[in-house]
Structure 1
Amino acid sequence: MTLLPPIQLPKIDFAREFTFSDADYERVRRLIHRTAGISLGPSKKDMVYGRLVRRIRELKLAGFTAYVDLLESPAGRGEFEQFVNALTTNLTFFFREDHHFPLLAEHLKQKAGQEVSIWCAAASTGEEPYSIAITALEALGANARVSILATDLDTSVLETGRRGIYGADKVARLPAGMAARYFDKLPDGNYQARAQLRNLIRFERLNLVDSVWPACKPFDAIFCRNVMIYFDRDTQAGVLRRFVPMLKPDGLLFVGHSENFYFASDLFHLRGKTVYEHAARAAVRPLTHG
């Protein structure tokens, strides 16, 4: 039997378009942590490459070293917003973590007739603050005196929130009947939140790790969900300390399903499933026996 020579397959080059060294990645990690509080582990290197390579192409730069050099120079101030936007995650949908909203409704009903203020500190594309607004109107009625501050680090998603326009697939996730009550169908098949919702919400850019936050009166509730999972422990503790004076004595802090702040028990005490209250208020709450 004659053996055929082995087939020589063409060599395929899987090399990246741009070199992304460990040193480049470390510079990116330090920069996004210093400016946005986001903590990136070693496993995120490929994700960072995929998100930033588009900016490098658009700017026609030589590679990642040149890109970070630009960001760290005075000429890179205009690009910095694009850099942060690229590295932030904006997964959200209406009434995400729906166990929070009945508790919010009960909390608001206790304040009927009062002015109510709520801060949504990671508003993303707006589904969360609109869910809060719907809950407030359902709990307090159409004449509710409610104001909602919706903030996010990413400027592009804030514009989506301001417009309040969403695809049919997103609106379909609303509880039964709410789409008809609170959204208008547009000619292109999308849906827009009605003015009664949009008028309750003010969208603004805010970086939770900035040294100064805009002056605001204390809030009746703060939603900061699924954002501090990207922060290291020290950054989380710093943000939580700054939340203390921003929340009314009887206020509630709503956090994400995978966030646990047991290490800050001197600041906040767990009230319910991923819902916190001031530690001082919890200390005087009477014990209940069931």
Structure 2
Amino acid sequence: MFEISDKEFRRVAHFIKVNYGIHLNNEKKILVVGRLGQVMQRLNINNFSDYLDYIIADKSGEAAKTFINQMTTNHTFFMREADHFNYFRDTVLSSLLPRVRDKDLRVWSAGCSSGEEPYTLAILIDEYLGSARIGWDTQLLATDISEKVLNRAKKGIYSSEAVALLPKRWRHSYFKRHADNHYEVSNKIKKEVVFRRFNLMESFPFKKKFHVIFCRNVMIYFDADTKMNLIRKFYDSLEPGGYLFIGHSETINREDTRFKYVMPAVYRKE
């Protein structure tokens, strides 16, 4: 069993805060040891200082990818916080689509985890447009910092329990039965989602602004300053009238943002 000194923990916490925005308080010591200890054991590294030195010295970036893969929590499920999806379908699409130029709808699922959120959004868009989708570019962007979880998302394979609560028509139209009682997202929907690894702490490289950004249950890992800086970047990356969805456990101080509050965890750029 590995042990981490106070000095080593402060160094790990500083590294993950500076590079990934994640805030670790002292209560996370056990989590750090549990998640990184197995990696250190495989590498035959005996202490956390040497492990951080190893990450920093690795110019390929693979060691850093392994580090963040271990340190991030990727828990999600289909129709999580379902009222958001209902609002997206019933209100957002109907208000946005008539104003979208060149039939180019731009939606970003930031912190997409294993893919349930962006696939759900792609299905909702496809259902909403129906036969009228000809000529529309509705391909959406899905990003996450964890390459491991992105690889799982790209496969689009989920257990029968995971899709059990989805409408029966969705399971019939947008999924296909897979081996071992699993379901795979149809190629039609897979083509509508572009998965990319992206660190939200980096400068946003996007040439065009988005109409909708989903970033739910990601900012709970950030301190107040990091969260507000990210919210400002989201605001600047949205078209006027665009929507930001955050997690229900997250809040935005209305005095510190230009976003207009719409409903719990939903904000709009005016």
TM-score by structure 1 length? 0.86
User: 1:32: which partner in 2?
Assistant: 16
- The amino acid of 2:2's aligned partner reads F
Asked if 1:254 corresponds to 2:212, the answer is: no
- The amino acid of 1:169's aligned partner reads E
CA distance in 1, matches of 2:131, 2:205: 29
2:75 corresponds, among 91, 111, 114, to 91
Q: CA deviation at 1:94?
A: 0.7
Q: CA deviation at 1:48?
A: 1.1
User: 1:268: which partner in 2?
Assistant: 259
Q: CA deviation at 1:127?
A: 0.5
Deviation string for 1:157-177 (max 9, x for gaps)? 111111111111211132343
User: 2:106: which partner in 1?
Assistant: 117
State how 1:120-199 maps to structure 2 within 5 Å: 120-141=109-130, 144=133, 145=136, 146-199=138-191
- The amino acid of 1:78's aligned partner reads E
Deviation string for 1:164-219 (max 9, x for gaps)? 11111211132343212210001332111001111110000110001x22223111
Q: Which has the higher helix share?
A: 2
Structure 2: gaps (5+ residues): none
Equivalent position SS for 2:65? helix
Q: Which has the larger radius of gyration?
A: 1
CA contact (8 A) 2:4 2:48 kept: yes
Q: CA deviation at 1:142?
A: 5.3
RMSD over equivalenced CA pairs, Å: 1.7
CA contact (8 A) 1:184 1:191 kept: yes
Deviation string for 1:263-289 (max 9, x for gaps)? 5543212111210012xx2xxxxxxxx
Which structure has more relative contact order (CA 8 Å, sep 6+)? It is 2
CA distance in 2, matches of 1:223, 1:134: 15
Identity across matched positions, percent: 37
Asked if 1:200 corresponds to 2:184, the answer is: no
CA contact (8 A) 1:24 1:65 kept: yes
Number of aligned residues:
262
- The amino acid of 1:156's aligned partner reads K
CA distance in 2, matches of 1:142, 1:162: 26
Structure 1 residues 198 and 74: CA distance shift in structure 2, 3 A: closer
- The amino acid of 1:117's aligned partner reads R
Equivalent position SS for 2:139? strand
* Runs ≥4 residues deviating over 6 A: none
User: 2:216: which partner in 1?
Assistant: 225
TM-score by structure 2 length? 0.92
Structure 1 residues 139 and 234: CA distance shift in structure 2, 3 A: same
Q: CA deviation at 1:108?
A: 1.1
CA distance in 1, matches of 2:208, 2:11: 38
CA contact (8 A) 1:109 1:140 kept: no
